[in-house]
């Protein structure tokens, strides 16, 4: 029989606190006051029946002293520390805590711990002790309850629990294969602080002053910090992942050395994966490079599927998987995938925006509008990038229904929060042209062409504005150019109703241009 969940009582709470003291005194945790404070806070809140309050913002302000202006898109401290804590807990139970009678688990995707008594390996299954789970607060989402149950079900025997400390590989067929045990490198806190600084630099609005073709100083500084971290701590997987993301971002901007940036990003991502072959973020980062920069959909699909298996709650992996299905002309499959992802991540504005876009592709406009509006409701004021995307998607839905004034308003709202967002720039130029505002559309066209001359991949957007102006030959040229530049949008143009069938057919019949020197 699998262990049953029971409510926390005064007696079981005492047992949990006693085990917490053992954890805090362990070799794994006693040298890290930050992680000790994190663990103590989430455990005590859970024992008090306040697990539902354990959100990223609350932990950032209560444990790490962040201000009320804390922006999770800019500061990933809580997520990074939660990942470190999970690693420390695995390390403890694989070493000095191997004989512990109780385990503390911090499931991925949430900050509410689960407490599980462990029966000896030779105990008969019917005598297994019940798991201790935190009482669910009123209104707690169903998926959190199911997650707690799933975690408890994993603990039908001690041997099963010990597998969590084993790394896994992804076989060629996409299945997970267990390998020999390995310890996860846990960096000292000074290195973590440097990592967090670099990560915050990377989340800044680097293009707020416009597109120059030069890598902004915050991005350059982030690259430098990550590079030094990988030298100081070569086993620090997250630093390699951060370096890959920073170099990929620099690749998108740098008109002087794009190929070097892309090669560096790929090398760093592959290094991260070699260090932790069971790391979902490592798979996800490499998948992004193959999908958006190299255009290798098959490789991106392998890596995305592996990342999702390793961490079903990783929103980025799900989003990339949906994008690649859309690029493979499988909108129904993509819609099924995004809906499955939403059952695990129901509050992700990115996934709701993707669902709206897919429904729009399928001309299911009423549902598309509903999803777009829901994405806007979920997008907090600090999530500028997701807010811009949500406005863009809603604008496309309105434009497809002939509501051009409403579409224009949405694209402008997107540009208010992200002035350099190329999707909203091109969309606004296209809809203005359709409304006969050719002078204003031409101004946007000129801006996009200037950005392209400086190395920005906006050829598809230029083609869209020309399409709105009715200049089919120019539209065909620039959309074809976007293929050579490796733009993702060029691979999903068949869904874009802003391009006439004649333009799409003409683009398909044109000979392929030589691939851009950027990649």
Tell me if residue 249 falls in helix, strand or coil. helix
pLDDT at 344: 85
Least confident piece of the model among 155-164, 290-299, 305-314, 493-502: 155-164
The dihedral sign for the CA sequence 415, 418, 419, 424: negative
Of 223 and 489, the one with more pLDDT:
223
Is 448 a residue whose pLDDT tops 90?
yes
Cα(448)–Cα(374) distance, integer angstroms: 30
Give the pLDDT confidence of 65-82 residue by residue, as tens digits: 888 777 776 678 888 888
- 336-342 own/partner pairs: CB under 8 Å, 24+ apart: 341/315
- Tokens standing for residue 290: 């193959």
pLDDT at 178: 40
pLDDT at 285: 92
Is 502 a residue whose pLDDT tops 70?
no
Mean pLDDT over 405-409 rounds to 97
Other beta carbons within 10 angstroms of residue 138's beta carbon come to 7
Mean pLDDT over 317-346 rounds to 92
pLDDT at 4: 34
Is 207 a residue whose pLDDT tops 90?
no
Q: Token pair 């620099």 is at which residue? A: 250
Where do the domains of the chain lie?
A: 5-166, 347-419, 434-519
If you count DSSP H runs as helices and E runs as strands, how many of each does the chain have, helices first?
Answer: 23, 6
Instruction: Kindly write down the DSSP assignment for every residue of 414-479, as one continuous string.
Output: HHHH-TT-HHHHHHHHHHHHHTT-HHHHHHHHHHHHHHHHTT---HHHHHHHHHHTT-HHHHHHHH
CB 140 within 8 A of CB 53: no
pLDDT above 70 as % of the chain: 80
Give the pLDDT confidence of 333-379 residue by residue, as tens digits: 999 999 999 998 888 889 999 999 999 999 999 999 999 999 998 87
pLDDT at 164: 36
Is 27 a residue whose pLDDT tops 80?
yes
Is 3 a residue whose pLDDT tops 80?
no
Is 281 a residue whose pLDDT tops 60?
yes
pLDDT at 126: 43
pLDDT at 244: 95
Give the pLDDT confidence of 436-447 residue by residue, as tens digits: 999 999 999 999
Is 172 a residue whose pLDDT tops 50?
no
Q: Select, from the ranges 86-95, 96-105, 169-178, 243-252, the one with the highest average predicted confidence (pLDDT).
A: 243-252
- Evaluate if pTM is beyond 0.85: no
Fold of 347-419: 1.25.40
């Amino acid at each position: 029989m699998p262990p049953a969940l029971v409510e926390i009582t005064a007696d079981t709470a005492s047992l949990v606190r006693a085990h917490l003291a053992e954890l805090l005194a362990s070799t794994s945790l006693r040298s890290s006051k930050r992680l000790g404070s994190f663990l103590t806070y989430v455990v005590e809140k859970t024992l008090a029946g306040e697990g539902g309050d354990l959100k990223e913002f609350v932990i950032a302000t209560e444990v790490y002293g962040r201000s009320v202006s804390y922006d999770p898109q800019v500061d990933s401290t809580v997520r990074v520390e939660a990942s470190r804590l999970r690693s420390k807990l695995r390390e403890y139970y694989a070493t000095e805590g191997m004989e512990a009678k109780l385990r503390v688990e911090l499931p991925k995707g949430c900050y509410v711990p689960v407490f599980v008594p462990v029966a000896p390996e030779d105990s008969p299954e019917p005598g297994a002790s019940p798991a201790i789970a935190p009482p669910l607060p009123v209104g707690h989402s169903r998926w959190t309850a199911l997650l707690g149950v799933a975690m408890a079900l994993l603990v039908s025997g001690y041997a099963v629990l010990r597998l969590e400390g084993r790394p896994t590989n992804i076989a060629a067929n996409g299945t997970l294969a267990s390998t020999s045990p390995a310890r996860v490198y846990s960096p000292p806190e000074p290195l973590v602080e440097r990592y967090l600084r670099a990560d915050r630099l990377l989340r800044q609005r680097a293009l707020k002053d416009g597109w120059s073709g030069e890598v902004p100083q915050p991005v350059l500084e982030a690259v430098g910090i990550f590079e030094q971290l990988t030298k100081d701590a070569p086993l620090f997987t997250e630093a390699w992942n951060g370096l890959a993301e920073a170099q990929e971002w620099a690749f998108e901007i740098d008109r002087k050395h794009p190929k070097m940036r892309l090669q560096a990003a790929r090398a760093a991502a592959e290094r991260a994966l070699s260090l932790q072959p069971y790391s979902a973020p490592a798979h996800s980062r490499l998948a992004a490079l193959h999908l958006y920069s190299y255009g290798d959909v098959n490789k991106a699909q392998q890596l995305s599927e592996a990342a999702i298996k390793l961490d079903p709650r990783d929103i980025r992996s799900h989003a990339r998987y949906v994008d690649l299905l859309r690029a493979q002309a499988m909108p129904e499959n993509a819609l099924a995938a995004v809906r499955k992802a939403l059952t695990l991540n129901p509050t992700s504005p990115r996934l709701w925006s993707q669902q709206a876009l897919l429904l729009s592709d399928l001309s299911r406009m009423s549902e598309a509008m509903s999803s777009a509006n829901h994405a806007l409701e979920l997008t907090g004021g600090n999530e500028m990038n997701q807010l811009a995307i949500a406005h863009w998607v809603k604008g496309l839905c309105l434009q497809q229904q002939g509501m051009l004034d409403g579409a224009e308003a949405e694209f402008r709202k997107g540009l208010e929060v992200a002035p350099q967002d190329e999707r909203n720039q091109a969309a606004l130029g296209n809809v203005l042209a359709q409304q006969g505002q050719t002078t204003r559309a031409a101004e946007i066209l000129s801006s996009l062409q200037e950005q392209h001359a400086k190395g920005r991949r906006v050829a598809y957007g230029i083609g869209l504005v020309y399409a709105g102006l009715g200049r089919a030959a120019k539209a065909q040229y620039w959309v074809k150019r976007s293929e050579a530049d490796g733009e993702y949008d060029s691979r999903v143009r068949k869904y874009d109703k802003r391009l006439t069938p004649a333009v799409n057919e003409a683009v398909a019949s044109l000979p392929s241009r030589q691939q851009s020197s950027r990649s």
